[in-house]
Amino acid sequence: MSEKEVILTPDGLKRLEEELEELKSVKRKEVAERIKEAISYGDISENSEYEEAKNEQAFIEGRIITLEKLLRNARVIRNDDVHTDVVSIGSTVKLKDLEFGDEVEYTIVGSAESDPFNNKISNESPVGKAILNKQKGAIVEVNVPAGVIQYKILDIRK
């Protein structure tokens, strides 16, 4: 079974690489010290510091494995790959909600760097899927739990 390709912007790649480096060089050492210290307290069977440190260690190691896998399968979208004639991964798109008149701006990213709170939505999200490969001026319908939202694409930029 082949692993799924992970699409990243250069910023997303940099962030994941920095997180991986931090986990490997700093967090691993910190948690190892905490484990060593907890063991020095004696009986580890009822030692909450030891249990907590071991759980954190398992989380860190799991995250390292996840990040290494993401980076191994990464395809980086370069600025030259992003066009302004149609919506693509890496595009920043201004949309207008045709029912309420609200305008929103999203940057389309791969699912690994999706961050809706910072207006970075995945190409696999309902809105991302609906607007991908569409042109400025297009009206798209997005199925959401509350029904259907219609957006007009006002602008596409890098």
Q: Specify the CATH number for the domain of residue 131.
A: 3.10.50.30
Same-domain pairing of 39 and 99? no
CA distance 135 to 87: 6
pLDDT band for position 46 (cuts 50, 70, 90): confident
Does 66 reside within a domain? yes
Apex 146 CA angle, 93 and 141, nearest 5: 40
Q: Which of 72, 55, 63 is nearest to 23 (CA)?
A: 63
Does 1 reside within a domain? no
Residues of the chain above pLDDT 70, percent: 99
Mean pLDDT of the residues in the chain = 92
Of the candidates 28, 56, 76, which is a domain's last residue?
76
Q: What is the pLDDT of residue 131?
A: 96
Q: What is the pTM of this model?
A: 0.77
Domain that holds residue 89: 81-157
pLDDT per residue as tens digits for the range 123-133: 999 999 999 99
CA distance 121 to 127: 8
pLDDT band for position 63 (cuts 50, 70, 90): very high
Same-domain pairing of 56 and 96? no
What Å distances lie between residue 82 and 14, 19, 89, 100, 138, CA to CA? 18, 26, 7, 30, 18
pLDDT per residue as tens digits for the range 141-156: 999 888 999 999 999 9
Same-domain pairing of 57 and 37? yes
Of the candidates 44, 76, 108, which is a domain's last residue?
76
Alpha helices in 3-46 (DSSP H): 10-22, 28-40
Mean pLDDT for 75-91 is 89
Q: What is the pLDDT of residue 2?
A: 60
Same-domain pairing of 67 and 49? yes
Give yes or no for residue 1 having a pLDDT over 70.
no
pLDDT band for position 19 (cuts 50, 70, 90): very high
Of the candidates 23, 55, 76, which is a domain's last residue?
76
